[in-house]
Amino acid sequence: MMFRQLPRHTRLLHARPSLPLYRYSSTAASSTTNTPGVPIKEHSAAVAAALENADAAATTEDLIALQKLQAPNRVQTWAKSQMPRAAAMVGPRFEQTDLAMQPRPLAAIELIHEQPVRFVKDRVVVCDGGGGPLGHPKIFINVDKPEVVPCGYCGLPFAHEHNKAAIVANPGRGGHGEYVIPE
């Protein structure tokens, strides 16, 4: 029997027909399923039925809107080097991932602006982020200017009591955004 030039292991397998020949593939060409256990035809019918249902359509629209948000409380990115969520979560790694079931933590940059401004009597404030292992290095913040000054590490806002009237009169003015001003 004459063999054409095949790799050696293939010739040996053909020479001994008693050994089973298994084909391994990461993608089966003859597969008729889109998701495990659900045939394509049934899956398409299920999607069509879900889109006809008004509640399901609203849920789909909500999911699309959620995917556009960077976080539940933030629309845009907060760093120049950060990719938008819609552009970052693409590709084979996320193909079969239900993004509605993934955790979506709130953006800390928005939560820190809910912290009230701490008006102090001293011209220099010491911030250590609460101290202990969860804090940050101790820094000294100058609060002489009539503006809210956030901590560079944790973002807690500080201001001098003497400047409270000017800060209350011009809320939201400053380079660091808007802050909650206690009464």
Spatial CB neighbours of 76, under 8 Å, sequence gap ≥ 6: 70, 84
Instruction: Tell me the three state secondary structure of residue 8.
Output: helix
Residue 164 lies in a domain: yes
Residue 33 and residue 38: Cα distance in Å, rounded? 6
| Minimum mean pLDDT range among 34-38, 100-104, 139-143 | 34-38
Residue 147 lies in a domain: yes
**Is the confidence at residue 11, as pLDDT, over 80?**
no
**Is the confidence at residue 167, as pLDDT, over 60?**
yes
Residue 183 lies in a domain: no
Q: Are 106 and 70 in contact (CB under 8 A)?
A: no
Residue 43 lies in a domain: yes
Q: Which domain holds residue 136?
A: 115-169
Res 2: pLDDT: 58
Number of domains the chain contains: 2
| CATH number for the domain that contains residue 149 | 2.60.260.40
Q: Work out the average pLDDT over 118-138.
A: 90
Q: Report the percent of the chain where pLDDT is more than 90.
A: 16
Average pLDDT of the chain to the nearest whole number: 72
Both structure tokens of 29: 């060409």
Residue 48 and residue 42: Cα distance in Å, rounded? 10
Residue with tokens 């292991």: 9
User: 44-57, pLDDT tens digit by residue?
Assistant: 454 445 445 544 55
Q: Are 161 and 120 in contact (CB under 8 A)?
A: yes
Residue 128 lies in a domain: yes
**Is the confidence at residue 127, as pLDDT, over 60?**
yes
**Is the confidence at residue 122, as pLDDT, over 80?**
yes
Res 125: pLDDT: 95
Residue 82 and residue 142: Cα distance in Å, rounded? 30
